[in-house]
Every structure is written in C-alpha cells, then in structure tokens.
Amino acid sequence: MSNKVLITDYVHPSLIDGFNTLGLVSVYKKDISLESVHQCIQDYVGIIINSKVKMDRVLMDKAIQLKFIGRLGSGLEIIDLPYAQEKGIHVFNSPEGNRNAVAEHAMGMIISLANNFKRADQEVRASIWDRESNRGMELEGKTIGIVGFGNTGSSLAKKLQGWDMEVLAYDKYDQSNMHGLDFVKSSNLEEIQTKADIISFHLPLTDETYHLVNLEFIKICKRGVMLINTCRGPVFDTESLVKGLESGHVGHAGIDVFENEKPTTYKEKEYILHDKLFNMSNVILTPHVAGWTHRSLEKIAEVLLKRIKRLF
C-alpha cells in the first residue's frame, strides 16, 4: 500500500510537515497538469486538489489506492461525491479556512462601491477634481441581503454587526448559523430581492444555483441594487448582469468569480460582454482572490490536516 500524497497546487508548508508526522510522503507538484494527474494517480493514497483537478469517475477509477481527497477551500462541485462515497474515498474540504478572507473581501467591495473609490481614484489620477459626482452612499440605514448563510455568509453577517444596517439572510437548507445572531433576520429570496439595497451571494455551484442571478431575478430587485459575487461565477449569468448594469437596474457590482476564468479562451461573445463589463466605473473586478490571502493559505492547511488526521 502506498503512503504517498499528491499535492497538485500551492499549499502552506505546514500541510507537508503535518503529513510527514503521519508517516505520509508528500509529492509536491503544484504545477502538475490534469493530464499528468491521470497518468500517475494510481500511485497515491491521497490527493490534495484545487479547482484545476476534476475528481470524476474516470479519474477515481484510475486511483486504485486512493483513500482521501483534500479540497483546498470549499467548493465540492469538482468532485463526484456519490461516486467517491461508493468507492470508499473520504472527501475533506476546508471552508472554515477562508471564510473570514472571503467575508472581508466582500465587505471591502461593498465599502469601495458605496463610496465610488474606483472612479474617484481614476479621476484624481487624471487631475479631475469632481467631488459632487463622487458623493458616497452611507451604509447606515440600508438593507443588505445575504444569500447563502453557511461559513462565508454568516462570517460576513458578523462583520456587519454595529453598522446599523438591516441584515436579511436566506439559506434554503441550513439556518443553524443564524443562532446567536439576533441582529440578523431570517428571510426568503423574494423579500431580499424587493427590499435589499445590497445583495451578497455565498452559494455552492449546483444545478439549482446555476444562473440564479439572471434577468428575471434582477427585474424583481430594487432599482439600483448592488450585487456582490464572491462564491461561484456561474451563479451569475454574465449577459444578464451586463444588461442590468447598462439599464441602471443594477447600480453597482463587485465580482470576484466569473463564468469563464480563462480570458485566453474567450469566444467572440464573451469578449464583447467582458469588454463592456471592464469599462464600467461602477464595477469592481478581482481575479478569484477573495479567499486567497496569506493567512487563509495557512488556515486551510490547518483545517485539512486536522480532518485527514482522523483517518490515521
């Protein structure tokens, strides 16, 4: 039986040190391609993955010694969970590791958009001194809706305590994180759409959440709503978002995740859509880094190691 673990992406050194204490040999190949993983997976008892490695049936059938899959972060849509269970492969993820980082990133986007930081910065650099057009929107008295109230959604809510905002939270499957957060009101999607000035999304990607934010969704929202997406790109329909921004129905958007996160593969329609998006001053865009801080790297390693230790 192998004692080797394949690490396919950048990890904090503490994860490798931890594996050593368990008698596991870390094979650190952070730049390995998916094709190469398919060629060598039969040699490993464990694998640590991020988004580039899809643990589907084909790959798991090749992984004849595999006992566990460790996911750096939260999203499990890249793993065929029922098949892993059928084959007796343990699956571990680490949403607690980057929930604070994602919540802080979302909060930063909200504050920046409410106060026109991006546009104001660009104008000052261009020697344009326009104070009136850059009047900000104070968050006090506003209503924010949090869609998805798991690790990151609840973490964002905790940061809003003391901001004198009305906080509405919706989670279709689990309301347990609302316990102890008396300032948060359990809500439904329609109430959030019709009442919220700001809506932040913290959902997994499933068939149910794919393109949840489309034209129909946007039309129900308050005119001028601010939308924040730090969860999964395909939760938003990009074309609908651009149309909403162009019409003014969406007033601001903060986007950290995209339907296609490989710009070199854009098709013509995608180029046109993203060109429009990139030239909007009321939009803040970041390259899927909300949960990608120096501290979250370390915390993800801590969470994964703690869970994997239980196997040994």
Neighbours of 138 (CB within 10 A): 11
Contact status, residue 143 vs residue 170, Cβ threshold 8 Å: no
Catalytic one among 166, 288, 298, 302? 288
Helix (H) or strand (E) holding 180: none
CA 50, CA 248: separation in Å to the nearest integer? 36
In the beta sheet, which residues pair with residue 5?
26, 46
Q: In what order do the strands lie in the sheet with 90-92?
A: 25-28, 4-7, 46-49, 68-71, 90-92
88: phi > 0 → left, psi -120 to 50 → alpha, else beta; which?
A: left
288 is catalytic: yes
Helix (H, G, I), strand (E, B) or coil at 168: strand
Task: Tell me the angle at which helices 95-114 and 151-160 cross, rounded to the nearest 10 degrees.
Answer: 50
- Residue 133 is inside which H or E element, if any? none
Residue 222: DSSP 8-state: P
Residue 147 identity (one-letter amino acid): V
Residue holding tokens 């900000």?
A: 136
Q: Exactly one of 12, 99, 105, 232 is catalytic; which is it?
A: 232
Task: Point out the residues that are catalytic.
Answer: 232, 261, 288
